[in-house]
């Protein structure tokens, strides 16, 4: 079989192919479409990528929570919040659920991991009356700083806001927002609800506000953070989100509770 020559490709009369072959013969990168006399994509500079968060100058579509389909199936009104499509309101059913126990999808919350925190930037409080193995979270500038090891901590935001400046200066930082799913448990029966699928000791004497507990959540690796008197954040693997929703939903229905949205949580305050 005869060896294929450049002329075989040039028979197409394709100017772009001829230019690409010319560059390949010199060992250089192929030119951009703008160099070939063609317009660059809208919203971009010739030869450069589109800005982060956009596609050819267009606004990127809103991200979707891993639990969006479950929330809609449960009758929760959904909409956009901070660049995410999330559950917003359970309507008239929300007040009764909040009085018992409610849970809401918070997969949109920004979660980052940092390694080797700078001295003095993180101090986990461990009063003498607390267990020696207790790990407490520290709240600062709308973020929870949650230690996960001697040289690691998770940063958990109240929403999808960008990391604070001191986080952005860290060299070893990883965004885990789409690696971890989240549910927020709220209401007087919140601890009772969690006890039905999690063996972590969340009694007030053992887990005060800010208490951070890694362990098994519905038989999957996860974390529990007590954010307020009657509010607990559950974090778990993103791939387990649907499964954890089903477990929590079954347990909540037995207690007279059910799913709500972010607007319902805000209306219910921080109790």
Q: What is the pLDDT of residues 58-76, one digit of tens each?
A: 677 888 888 999 999 999 9
Whether pLDDT at 264 is above 90 = yes
Whether pLDDT at 117 is above 80 = no
The pLDDT tens digits for 96-108 are: 999 999 999 999 8
State how far the Cα of 235 lies from the Cα of 233, in Å rounded to an integer: 7
Q: pLDDT: is 129 or 107 the higher one?
A: 107
Whether pLDDT at 215 is above 70 = yes
Q: pLDDT: is 240 or 131 the higher one?
A: 240
Question: Would you list the domain boundaries of the chain?
Answer: 11-59, 63-267
Whether pLDDT at 261 is above 60 = yes
Average pLDDT over the chain reads 75
Q: What is the mean pLDDT of residues 39-56?
A: 41
Element (H, E) at 115: strand 111-115
Q: What is the DSSP letter of 96?
A: H
84, burial (CB in 10 Å: exposed 0-12, middle 13-18, buried 19+): buried
* pLDDT at residue number 77: 93
State how far the Cα of 22 lies from the Cα of 208, in Å rounded to an integer: 69
Whether pLDDT at 163 is above 80 = no
For residue 41, the SS3 value is coil
Region label for 212, one of left (φ > 0), alpha (ψ between -120 and 50) or beta (otherwise) = beta
What CATH homologous superfamily does 63-267 map to? Probable tRNA modification gtpase trme; domain 1 (3.30.1360.120)
* pLDDT at residue number 169: 56
CB 78 within 8 A of CB 87: yes
Whether pLDDT at 43 is above 80 = no
* pLDDT at residue number 175: 79
DSSP result, 48-77: SPPPTTEETTEEPPPEE-TTHHHHHHTT-E
Residue 136 has which token pair? 């407490």
pTM over 0.75: no
Confidence of residue 23 (pLDDT cuts 50, 70, 90): very low
Percent of the chain, pLDDT > 90?
A: 43
């Amino acid at each position: 079989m005869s060896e294929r020559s450049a002329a075989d490709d040039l028979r197409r009369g394709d100017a772009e192919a001829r230019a690409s072959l010319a560059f390949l013969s010199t060992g250089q990168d192929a030119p951009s479409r703008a160099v070939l006399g063609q317009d660059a994509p809208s919203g971009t500079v010739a030869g450069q990528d589109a800005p982060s968060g956009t596609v050819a100058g267009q606004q990127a579509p809103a991200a979707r929570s891993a639990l969006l389909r479950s929330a809609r199936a449960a009758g929760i009104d959904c909409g956009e919040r901070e660049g995410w499509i999330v559950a917003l309101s359970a309507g008239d059913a929300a007040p009764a659920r909040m009085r018992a126990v409610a849970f809401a999808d918070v997969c949109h919350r920004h979660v980052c991991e940092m390694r080797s925190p700078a001295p003095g930037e993180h101090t986990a409080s461990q009063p003498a009356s607390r267990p020696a193995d207790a790990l407490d979270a520290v709240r600062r500038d709308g973020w929870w700083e949650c230690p996960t090891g001697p040289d690691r901590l998770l940063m958990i935001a109240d929403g999808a806001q960008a990391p604070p400046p001191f986080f952005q200066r860290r060299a070893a930082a990883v965004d885990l927002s789409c690696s971890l799913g989240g549910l927020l448990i709220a209401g007087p029966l919140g601890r009772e609800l969690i006890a039905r699928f999690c063996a972590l000791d969340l009694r007030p004497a053992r887990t005060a506000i800010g208490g951070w507990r890694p362990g098994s959540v519905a038989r999957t690796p996860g974390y529990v953070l007590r954010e307020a008197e009657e509010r607990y954040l559950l974090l778990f693997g993103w791939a387990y989100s649907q499964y954890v929703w089903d477990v929590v939903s079954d347990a909540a229905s037995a207690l007279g509770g059910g799913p709500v949205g972010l607007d319902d949580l805000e209306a219910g305050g921080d109790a």
